[in-house]
Structure 1
């Protein structure tokens, strides 16, 4: 994963795209322009929860900031890192089975989880009304 800057907020448990609405409004709060676009808002699970295979609840929401974004507020720099990644047809609701696949791969290859997961829906209601065409990506940083 390339170096990224992001803004994080607290816990959210999305069951549908509507459940992210509060978190998205929080991300946009006090901003001069909207930076919340498809593929930039994500949810994550902390390293400690991933290590215990506790993937039932997300504990953070984040906004990936591009270099040209002028975000008002505290941000976090994520260094470039190696990740195991999976993309699947579906949304956050179906992610549990894919977390299991990634965690099984991590275990089988004796990798160490080094940070929180980054889960971003790349195609959702913003692009299609057909949920069967949704695409979500999960990345887990490893060493």
Structure 2
């Protein structure tokens, strides 16, 4: 009959529990585990009485429990502390389920948005729309390139209540062109980036906008702004505020610039002549 092994080296435990030797040594230093003895060469040996703790430690660490709290639990285990840990685990699982449901909703919105623009029939066509009030989280700065805007949007995204990458959020993102820049035909310098969301931010009131959705590279933006300016002149409209560019499909979704989809929104009113 094979003799049962009583003691294990740190490397064997590391392999069994898929925990690095360095982490196990750290656990030893703070008193979570301790070797039963060391041999004359300094090798640590652990008995099963020590290594059973690793299951608890690993499970609790995966739930985000701190090492200090784990140490306290292992030193004072009883029915009450175990019930507390179970309750903590249940709450953590419930929170994870809520976050996954939120992510599912966001993904569905993003998917539906992509499907909507796959079947869109009004590219490059000026359309007058009344847009309801919205909340904008804004960040000022001077931007000329899409990668500059993307960097600022990443910083701005930290302010959103739930952190997520842009591909996984229903929030609309974009940049703002000053009214004066539009009037002077400077269409490629933006002074702020923004995220439109339902949680927080500056309220932009309801208003009438001249909009245009175009597909393709941002290099074509000037052409569409010029077309919109001509449309305004022909139809007796004037710009009354800064212009928003909304990036419905951008580099976060595709690397092919021909698949980019951008919407220009110009706040307008009918001119009144004295």
Could you tell me the TM-score, scaled by structure 1's length? 0.81
Q: Which stretch shows the higher mean deviation, 19-28 or 93-102?
A: 19-28
CA change 1:83–1:30 in 2 (3 A) is closer
Q: SS state of the match for residue 142, structure 1? A: strand
Partner of 1:43: 175
Larger Rg: 2
Matches within 5 A, 1:1-143: 1-16=131-146, 18-34=147-163, 37=166, 40-66=172-198, 69=199, 71=200, 75-143=201-269
Query: Residues 19 and 91 from structure 1, CA distance in 2 versus in 1: closer, same or farther, beyond 3 angstroms?
Result: farther
Q: Which has the higher helix share?
A: 2
| Higher RCO, Cα 8 Å, sep 6+ | 1
For these two proteins, the number of residue pairs brought into alignment is 136
**Structure 2: any 5+ residue segments left out of the alignment?**
1-130, 270-274
Is the contact made by 2:144 and 2:188 (CA closer than 8 Å) also made in structure 1? no
5+ residue gaps, structure 1: none
State the shift of 1:50 in Å: 1.7
**Shift in alpha-carbon separation, 1:12–1:36, aligned structure 2, 3 A:** farther
**What's 2:44 paired with?**
none
User: Structure 2 length as normaliser, TM-score?
Assistant: 0.45
